[in-house]
């Protein structure tokens, strides 16, 4: 991730050092600017990796069959649509946290408002989904405990903590990103 960000930063720094030019941006500069904007509206890599690991572990557990496999399959069915919607409206706004912490909101950041408005509207439903996920986690954890599969017990505990983190930190942070951008980003 560091190299990707550096690849975006160096051309900007070089232009600033050579700067002072009042000319219109080149097509290449405009394209780079669009790429930078798109990059900031992506789920942070740490969250995307964590979601991927959760799915991989559940797939492995479901493949084991028996009580643990059945409970893992039920948990995956509860999680999959929820994660999909999170990745559409809840986690991409978090990609703006660092740029916002480093500077002012820009007009381009206003595109996040569709996501954060949807998150605010859908938050009660997302929290109800967490309740269903918690019930499925409890069943999965109990099955893993009965089979003595401590790695899956720890996984269930970590998944429950992940849901609490979303409720306590990630969802509110995404909503605050939207409110901040709405209140401070200039109109185009």
Q: Is the pTM of this model over 0.85?
A: no
Please say if the pLDDT value at position 29 is more than 90. Answer: no
- The C-alpha atoms of residue 186 and residue 108 are separated, in whole angstroms, by 9
Residue 38 sits at the vertex; the CA angle it makes with 125 and 6, to the nearest 5 degrees, is: 125
Residue 109 sits at the vertex; the CA angle it makes with 105 and 110, to the nearest 5 degrees, is: 105
pLDDT per position as a tens digit, 126-168:
999 999 999 999 999 999 999 999 999 999 999 999 999 999 9
pLDDT per position as a tens digit, 66-98:
999 999 999 999 999 999 999 999 999 999 999
* Helix ranges, the chain (H): 2-18, 27-40, 45-62, 66-85, 97-102, 113-146, 150-165, 171-184
- The C-alpha atoms of residue 44 and residue 52 are separated, in whole angstroms, by 13
Please say if the pLDDT value at position 18 is more than 90. Answer: no
Q: Give me the mean pLDDT over the 22-47 stretch.
A: 60
- The C-alpha atoms of residue 95 and residue 162 are separated, in whole angstroms, by 18
Per-residue tokens: 160: 């429950």
Stronger pLDDT, 165 or 25, i.e. the higher one? 165
**Quick one: pLDDT band at residue 28, thresholds 50, 70, 90?**
low
Radius of gyration of the chain (CA): 21
- The single-letter DSSP state of residue 107 is G
Please say if the pLDDT value at position 13 is more than 90. Answer: no
């Amino acid at each position: 991730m560091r190299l990707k960000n550096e690849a975006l930063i160096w051309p900007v720094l070089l232009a600033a050092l050579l700067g002072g030019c009042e000319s219109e941006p080149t097509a290449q500069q405009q394209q780079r600017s669009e790429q930078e904007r798109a990059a900031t509206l992506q789920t942070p890599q740490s969250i995307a990796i964590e979601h991927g690991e959760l799915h991989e572990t559940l797939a492995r557990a479901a493949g084991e069959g028996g009580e643990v496999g059945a409970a893992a399959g039920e948990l995956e069915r509860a999680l999959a649509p929820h994660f999909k919607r999170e990745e559409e409206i809840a986690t991409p706004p978090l990609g703006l946290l660092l740029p916002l912490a480093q500077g002012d909101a820009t007009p381009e950041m206003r595109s996040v408002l569709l996501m954060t408005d949807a998150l605010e509207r859908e938050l009660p439903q997302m929290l109800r989904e967490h309740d269903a996920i918690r019930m499925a986690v409890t069943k999965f954890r109990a099955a893993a405990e009965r089979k003595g599969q401590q790695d899956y017990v720890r996984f269930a505990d970590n998944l429950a903590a992940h849901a609490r983190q979303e409720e306590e930190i990630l969802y509110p942070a995404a909503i605050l990103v939207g409110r901040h951008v709405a209140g401070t980003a200039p109109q185009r």
